[in-house]
Amino acid sequence: MDKWEDNKAWFLVLPVFVIVAFSAIIPLMTVVNYSVQDIFGPGQRIFVGTEWFKEVLHDTRLHDALWRQFLFSGLVLLIEIPLGIAVALTMPKKGWGVSVSLVTVALPLLIPWNVIGTIWIVFTRPDIGLFGKAINSMGIAFDHTASPLDAWITLMFMEVWHWTPLVVLLAYAGLRAIPDAYYQAASIDGASAWAVFRYIQLPKMRGVLTIAVLLRFMDSFLIYAEPFVLTGGGPGNSTTFLSIYLVKIAVGQFDLGPAAAFSLIYFLIILLFSWLFYQAIQNVGKGDAP
């Protein structure tokens, strides 16, 4: 369906444009500025061109962090999106169960991120935490402070626990926005549950799933507080994700130039992949949307 052609629609967009641009443009330009200068102190800076970018691109520890980050975000999307849709499909449509399940699902999202890490430290401790105690009592020696694999498993549990609710809420709201007429038509045709999901529910959820995939990709790629508090990037460097490494450079070593160059490259990677995801979801199965 074609949209109406009218440039006056800009007036509807203008408030949003102004309010976002106010906070976006000047800080971004400042960071671009940092990335091409060597800063010694107030008023003492020299232009260094692309030196910081070259330095950052050849940093092998950054390469490691980048691969780790891709693995992490990939796992997050593969687990959370299907799980979130599945849970949304099982949620009741009316009655008191709606309120109970909606409120319960939302709870993990509402805890500040640094607190989530702290709570999971205790929760996974073998001596005083429920999760650690339960796993150890099954006879598995589990310790996320010593074993990289255990650290990853703990992080994934925490991440899935924390963020799947976001997918659930979006998918549920998307499902509830499907007019009953579609379901009635499907039941007259004698469509199976799978056919209803594949040809009605999934295409109708395209909008909310786009935002769910993009949000989960962006936020998991930028993840900082939870792993920083839970594992501190360890054991070794096994859970040092990009932003943890970035903060090490920016705050720990106060290398503003390389950190700014790093930030811009980081930003461009997220931009590229978000764009690819966006295009893919917009175009997949375009023909069968009702």
Partner 1 sequence: MSAKEEKFEMKRLGLIFYLFLLLLPIYWMLNMSLRTNADILGAFSYYPADPTFANYIKIFTEEAWYSGYINSIIYVTLNTIISLVTALPAAYAFSRYHFLGDKHVFFWLLTNRMAPAAVFLLPFFQLYSTFGLIDTHIAVALSHCLFNVPLAVWILEGFMSGIPREIDETAFIDGYGFPRFFITIYIPLIRAGIGVTAFFCFMFSWVELLLARTLTTTNAKPIAATMTRTVSATGLDWGLLAAAGILTIVPGALVIWFVRNHLAKGFALGRV
Site for partner 1 in 30-59 (CB under 8 A): 30-31, 34
**Residue 98, CA distances (Å) to 61, 90, 120, 173 in order:** 47, 11, 28, 12
**The only residue of 81, 151, 200, 259 in contact with partner 1, by rule CB under 8 A:** 259
Does 188 bind partner 1 (CB under 8 A)? Our answer is no
Q: Given candidates 45, 118, 147, 238, which one binds partner 1 under the rule CB under 8 A?
A: 118
Among 174, 200, 233, 239, which residue interacts with partner 1 (rule: CB under 8 A)?
Answer: 174
Does residue 189 belong to the site contacting partner 1 (CB under 8 A)?
Answer: no
Angle separating helix axes 10-35 and 256-283, nearest 10 degrees: 140
- Single out the residue of 62, 87, 135, 230 in contact with partner 1 (rule: CB under 8 A): 87
The interface region with partner 1, picked from 71-79, 145-153, 212-220, 231-239 by CB under 8 A, is 212-220
Going from the C-alpha of 221 to that of each of 66, 68, 90, the distances in angstroms are 9, 10, 29
Number of residues counted as binding partner 1 (CB under 8 A):
108
Residue nearer to partner 1 on the CB measure, 151 or 260? 260
Measured CA to CA, the distance from residue 77 to residue 206 in angstroms comes to: 16
Is 62 an interacting residue with respect to partner 1 (CB under 8 A)?
Answer: no
Residue 232 engages partner 1 in binding (rule: CB under 8 A): no
CA distances from residue 80 to 105, 169, 217 in whole angstroms, order as listed: 14, 12, 11
Q: Which of 271, 276, 280, 284 binds partner 1 (CB under 8 A)?
A: 271
Q: Which of 141, 149, 173, 195 binds partner 1 (CB under 8 A)?
A: 173
By CB under 8 A, is residue 90 in contact with partner 1?
yes
Question: Binding partner 1 by CB under 8 A: which of 145, 147, 237, 274?
Answer: 274
* Contacting range for partner 1; rule: CB under 8 A; set: 42-50, 140-148, 204-212, 231-239: 204-212
Interface with partner 1 (CB under 8 A), residue from 79, 98, 186, 191: 98
Residue 145 interacting with partner 1 (CB under 8 A):
no
Residues 182 and 200 sit within 8 Å (Cβ to Cβ): yes
Say which amino acid occupies 84.
G
Cβ-contact 31, 267 below 8 angstroms? no
Two tokens, residue 152:
């990853």
The beta-carbon contacts of 170-173 under 8 Å, at least 24 apart in sequence, are 170/84, 170/208, 170/209, 170/211, 170/212, 171/84, 171/85, 171/87, 171/88, 171/89, 171/205, 171/208, 171/209, 171/212, 172/88, 172/91, 172/102, 173/208
